[in-house]
């Protein structure tokens, strides 16, 4: 399932996913102080939402960075095909 996550992705889309993941972690960091000042059930709802944001942000960062580092993009496959076609008579 995770191998299909990056299937068909270009370098640009992986970079955007990486930035979205970083932004989700930034949002978590920004609202942490406000959440800790709350009382009651709303505090726990916000903590659950923050945890979900953090998990999803970290997932996006790891999967996108891994694909970029390994070169698992459609851009790389298209370049390989172009180089193969240049050798053909």
- How many angstroms separate the CA atoms of 21 and 25, rounded? 6
- Token pair for residue 52? 């979900």
Question: Is 3 within a domain?
Answer: no
Write down the residue that tokens 């942490």 correspond to: 32
Q: What range does the domain containing 65 cover?
A: 9-81
Question: Is 86 within a domain?
Answer: no
pTM over 0.75? The answer is no
Segment 23-36, tens digit of pLDDT: 999 999 998 888 88
Question: Is 71 within a domain?
Answer: yes
Segment 47-56, tens digit of pLDDT: 999 999 999 9
Question: Is 89 within a domain?
Answer: no
Question: Is 37 within a domain?
Answer: yes
Number of domains making up the chain: 1
Question: Is 20 within a domain?
Answer: yes
Question: Is 13 within a domain?
Answer: yes
């Amino acid at each position: 399932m995770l191998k299909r996550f990056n299937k068909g992705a270009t370098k640009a889309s992986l970079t955007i996913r990486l930035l979205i993941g970083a932004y989700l972690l930034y949002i978590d960091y920004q609202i942490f102080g406000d959440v800790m000042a709350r009382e009651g059930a709303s505090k726990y709802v916000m903590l659950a939402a923050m945890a979900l944001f953090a998990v999803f942000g970290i997932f996006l960062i790891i999967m996108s960075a891994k694909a970029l580092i390994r070169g698992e993009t459609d851009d790389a496959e298209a370049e390989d095909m172009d180089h193969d076609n240049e050798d053909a008579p």
